A = this chain, B = another copy of it.
Amino acid sequence: MQLNIIKIGGNIIDSETDLALFLEDLSRLKTPFILVHGGGKLATQMASQLNIPQQMVHGRRITNAETLKVATMVYAGYINKTIVAGLQKSGVNAIGLSGADANIIKASKRSATPVDYGFVGDVDYAHIQNKTLQVFLEQDLTPVVCAITHDGNGQLLNTNADTIAAQIACSMSNHFKVKLIYCFEKNGVLLNADQDDSVIPEIDESMFQTYVNSGIIKDGMIPKMDNCFFALNNGVQEVRILHASQLKNHINHNSNDGTRITSTL
């Protein structure tokens, strides 16, 4: 049985109109799915309004206690419940979850050396409760997972949403034929960042290295692609990066949109 693990990026969440269209599309998918969502700009805005200084190291944010509080409020509270209520409106019986809920994702706090990123969690799919997620799916409940996990010892942890999507995809592969799809505001992985139609249709691991070396694939796309390859090497059948507006057509009609990631071509 097919199961889609769908990650939706921050830029779609930031636009009320785009998000509404996306949720409407989700309600028309013909195969079951689990949605994983990131944060968008609201957490940063909120931290700024509350005068919580954002510490950065090597371009990455440090999650101190106050930043974690804001992330928990925004991701697990406002964004998660807004998405759940929007899906309910469209007839999808969504259930919002952090990693602490039903112990779905027990993460481990990242080591403080060499860099102390604070309350950040790393996920291993061996610690994802896939049986509980399966029970929800059997009850026709659609899990909507935010990027907050816990360590099982009372500590909430900020966790990368791309990684959560990939790890859930691996975890569910023992019972389902899993497709992992990263939806964002571009038409796929682009050869030229300024040209929307320069989508690379397919990328394998050796091409990925070439693109990284030549600077075509860089910044946040590198860890995203690492997650893609990890998923493919751990049981996931298909991985794709595409524009949020292409999702419905791709899943319902198997359209060849976006960039397909493969282990080897």
- Residues of chain B contacted by A132 (CB below 8 angstroms): 139, 141
The stretch among A70-78, A109-117, A159-167 that forms the contact with chain B is A70-78
**How far is A96 from B180 in the complex, measured between Cα atoms in Å?**
26
Interface residues of A in 75-97 (CB under 8 A from B): 75-78, 80-82, 84-86, 88-89, 93-97
| Cβ of A69 under 8 Å from chain B | yes
| Cβ of A59 under 8 Å from chain B | no
Prevailing SS type, chain A contact patch: helix
**How far is A82 from B100 in the complex, measured between Cα atoms in Å?**
9
What string of 1s and 0s marks CB contacts (under 8 Å) between A32-71 and chain B? 0000000000000010011000000000000000000100
| Cβ of A148 under 8 Å from chain B | yes
**How far is A94 from B155 in the complex, measured between Cα atoms in Å?**
14
Q: Known interface pairs A69-B78, A73-B74, A139-B135. Does A84 touch B101 (Cβ–Cβ under 8 Å)?
A: yes
Q: Known interface pairs A77-B78, A93-B103. Does A156 touch B85 (Cβ–Cβ under 8 Å)?
A: yes
| Cβ of A212 under 8 Å from chain B | no
Q: Known interface pairs A78-B77, A135-B139. Does A93 touch B84 (Cβ–Cβ under 8 Å)?
A: no
Q: Known interface pairs A95-B101, A96-B98. Does A81 touch B156 (Cβ–Cβ under 8 Å)?
A: yes
| Cβ of A102 under 8 Å from chain B | yes
**How far is A88 from B101 in the complex, measured between Cα atoms in Å?**
8
- Most chain B CB inside 10 Å of its own CB: which residue of A50, A72, A153, A155: A72
* Chain B residue at minimum C-beta to C-beta distance from A135: B139
Contact across chains for A154 and B100 when beta carbons are under 8 A apart: no
How close is A27's CB to chain B, nearest CB, in angstroms? Answer: 12
| Cβ of A223 under 8 Å from chain B | no
- Residues of chain B contacted by A243 (CB below 8 angstroms): none
Further contacts, 14 of them, CB under 8 A, given A46-B73, A88-B100, A132-B139: A50-B50, A72-B82, A73-B73, A76-B76, A76-B80, A82-B156, A85-B154, A89-B152, A89-B153, A89-B154, A93-B103, A95-B101, A135-B135, A135-B139
